Amino acid sequence: MASAVSPDYRGARRRLVAQLRAGGITDEAVLKAVEESPRHLFVPTGVGHRAYVDSSLSIGSGQTISQPSVHARYLQLLELRGSERVLEIGTGSGYQTLLLSKLAAQAFSVERAAPLLEGARDVLRTCGVRNVTFQLGDGTIGWREFAPYDAILVSAAAPSIPQPLLDQLAVGGKLLIPLGERDEQMLTMVTRLPEHFERRDIIPVRFVPLLGTHGWTSP
């Protein structure tokens, strides 16, 4: 991992971690993962100087890399302890995937845009990641082969919760998904209990649309 992390950005990562801590991120494992992760490798070279600013950036294919604070909040809400099997819907740049690789035992990531998937896979390989498996396909149908999952993260907004994702969530598992209209959504957590699902609204958010069989049908 050390070879992938430029010393020039260590100070920037520490400042970002301090900002996240001041903003309410208290999970030390999440903060450590952020400090160790070279976000500049996951953004276009032309905006590399903004990699450690708390803002979203375009990464091509009509997608964005979310703000570091959004990633950190997602991961803190999941309360991962390192033994979990996690499904990520929307690989995107692969930055969140890298964070997951440090916080869970196994991560499975589905992406519908081949250029993004290939780019993310290459960067994670450079970072020495070995506990992530990728699939090119429709994330709204999940990845039944490796279910059930202790946590499912959806990195795009859906009009409703895709039923296959609920079906693939383990008892006690948590699903995080932005729900709502195309221009504004509510980050929602669903926990699977033995007899039912418990739903909780977290905060208003804005994500790109989740495309697929159980999501939006057009960009």
The pLDDT value recorded for residue 177 is 98
The answer, yes or no, to whether the previous bond of 162 is cis (omega within 30 of 0) is no
How many angstroms separate the Cα of 22 from the Cα of each of 18, 30, 217? 6, 14, 39
The answer to the question of residue 156 being in a domain is yes
C-alpha 48 chain-centroid distance: 20
Q: Which long-range contacts (CB under 8 A, 24 or more apart) does 181-185 make?
A: 182/157, 182/209, 182/216, 185/157
Distance CA 66, CA 70 (A): 6
The answer to the question of residue 167 being in a domain is yes
The answer to the question of residue 199 being in a domain is yes
The answer to the question of residue 82 being in a domain is yes
The pLDDT value recorded for residue 6 is 47
Q: How many CB atoms lie within 10 A of CB 124?
A: 25
Amino acid at 104: A
The answer to the question of residue 172 being in a domain is yes
The answer to the question of residue 65 being in a domain is yes
**Which residue among the candidates 3, 6, 66, 69 is catalytic per the annotation?**
66
The answer to the question of residue 112 being in a domain is yes
Domain around 110: 55-205
- Quick check: 200 and 179 in contact, CB under 8 A? no
Q: Report the CATH number that the domain containing residue 148 is assigned in CATH.
A: 3.40.50.150
- Quick check: 112 and 135 in contact, CB under 8 A? no
The pLDDT value recorded for residue 3 is 42
Can you list the residues of the chain whose pLDDT is less than 70? Answer: 1-7
Active site residue 66: yes
The pLDDT value recorded for residue 49 is 85
> How many domains is the chain built from?
1
CA atoms within 13 A on the CB side of 125: 8
Q: Are strands 149-154 and 197-205 parallel, antiparallel or unpaired?
A: unpaired
User: Of the candidates 184, 183, 63, 40, which has an alpha carbon nearest to the alpha carbon of residue 112?
Assistant: 63
The answer to the question of residue 3 being in a domain is no
